[in-house]
């Protein structure tokens, strides 16, 4: 972990999931997300302690396990509060909701893992409780009620609103809950100002316009890929296999629930847009282009 200062009061920790730090005063700091597990949480506490700081609170941009995984150990050792927004508050307090939602039923043991299910913590709704010097804004799409955070230094933390060029090139398909909301968020970010933008899984940058366009183009590419495949009647499993085969991706249980959910979201978007429809034959749900 590397601590980087980017403003008078704003820092971030370079990590697989970047962690924001905002100094409320000479001693107390607020974290923006907490990493993917207890080991990440311990390392964050060690780094913060080496600076002579105390964690006064954790602000979670959203409730995916790689953003809240360090919550419990940090809270247990520092006594700090956790803040999240609306539905993200519920998922953080009851983490079994994430694998249950992704799978669409009770999650079997293999998906009750730290990658999909963090340890629970109590949460304060960030609405009307945001620490002084910080502002939040909606970034819906990747998850239910994801937010971004802007600090008094005009540093903007973007959660998972943007995926890196490396991720897009290597994996093509990345998790999205609501495709329409995600596209709207990209439009919203297009004209956003800021001194520095810090997405959770990308390098910090002063200009996000190129990355916005790369994300938008990939989503439209996948939408068209799925739409064209639905010329003939196909099941969800057919579509999922086709997308994985097209991009030479390898299926495992975590990818099945995460990207399976994403493919369903693409189908929902195309259906709501009137481009495809569903019907039932032989007790199978089939998707087909609208003629």
Q: What is the mean pLDDT of residues 142-149?
A: 98
Close Cβ partners of 288 (under 8 Å, ≥ 6 residues apart): 230, 231, 232, 233, 234, 276, 277, 278, 279
- Among residues of the chain, what percentage have pLDDT more than 90? 97
In this prediction, residue 291 carries a pLDDT of 83
Distance CA 253, CA 247 (A): 18
1 pLDDT more than 90: no
Domains of the chain in sequence order: 2-219 (3.60.15.10), 224-289 (1.10.10.10)
Within 112-252, residue ranges assigned H as helices are 165-171, 179-190, 209-229, 236-246
| CA-to-CA separations, 190 to 158, 181, 199, 201, 213, in angstroms, rounded | 13, 14, 14, 19, 9
How much is the mean pLDDT over the chain? 97
Tell me the per-residue pLDDT of 99-110, one tens digit each, with 9 for 90 and over: 999 999 999 999
In this prediction, residue 188 carries a pLDDT of 98
- Among residues of the chain, what percentage have pLDDT more than 70? 100
This prediction has a pTM of: 0.96
In this prediction, residue 267 carries a pLDDT of 98
In this prediction, residue 243 carries a pLDDT of 98
Contact 256, 264 (CB under 8 A): no
Q: What is the mean pLDDT of residues 36-63?
A: 97
Judged by DSSP in three states, 175 sits in: coil
| CA-to-CA separations, 213 to 138, 155, 198, 199, 217, in angstroms, rounded | 19, 21, 17, 15, 6
Contact 60, 68 (CB under 8 A): yes
Tokens standing for residue 228:
């064209």
At 278, the pLDDT band (50, 70, 90 cuts) reads very high
């Amino acid at each position: 972990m590397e601590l980087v200062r980017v403003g008078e009061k704003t820092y971030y920790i370079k990590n697989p999931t970047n962690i924001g730090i905002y100094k409320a005063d000479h001693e107390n700091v607020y974290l923006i997300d907490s990493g993917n597990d207890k080991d990440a949480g311990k390392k964050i506490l060690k780094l913060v302690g080496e600076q002579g700081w105390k964690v006064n609170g954790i602000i979670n941009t959203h409730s995916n396990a790689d953003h809240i995984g360090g919550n419990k150990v940090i809270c247990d050792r520092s006594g700090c509060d956790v803040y999240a927004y609306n539905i993200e508050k519920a998922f953080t307090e009851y983490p079994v909701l994430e694998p249950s939602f992704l799978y669409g039923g009770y999650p079997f043991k293999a998906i009750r893992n730290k990658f999909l299910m963090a340890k629970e913590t109590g949460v304060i709704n960030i609405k009307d409780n945001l620490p002084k010097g910080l502002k939040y804004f909606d970034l819906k799409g990747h998850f239910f009620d994801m937010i971004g955070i802007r600090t008094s230094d005009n540093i903007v933390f973007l959660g998972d609103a943007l995926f890196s060029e490396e991720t897009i090139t290597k994996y093509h398909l990345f998790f999205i809950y609501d495709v329409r909301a995600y596209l709207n968020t990209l439009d919203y970010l297009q004209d956003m100002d800021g001194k520095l933008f810090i997405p959770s899984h990308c390098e910090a940058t002063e200009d996000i316009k190129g990355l916005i366009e790369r994300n938008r183009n990939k989503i439209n590419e996948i939408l068209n890929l799925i739409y064209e495949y639905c010329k003939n009647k196909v099941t969800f499993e057919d579509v999922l296999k086709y997308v994985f085969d097209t991009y030479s991706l390898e299926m495992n249980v975590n990818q099945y629930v995460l990207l399976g959910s994403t493919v369903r979201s693409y189908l929902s978007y195309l259906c709501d847009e009137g481009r495809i429809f569903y019907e039932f034959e032989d007790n199978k749900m089939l998707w087909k282009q609208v003629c």
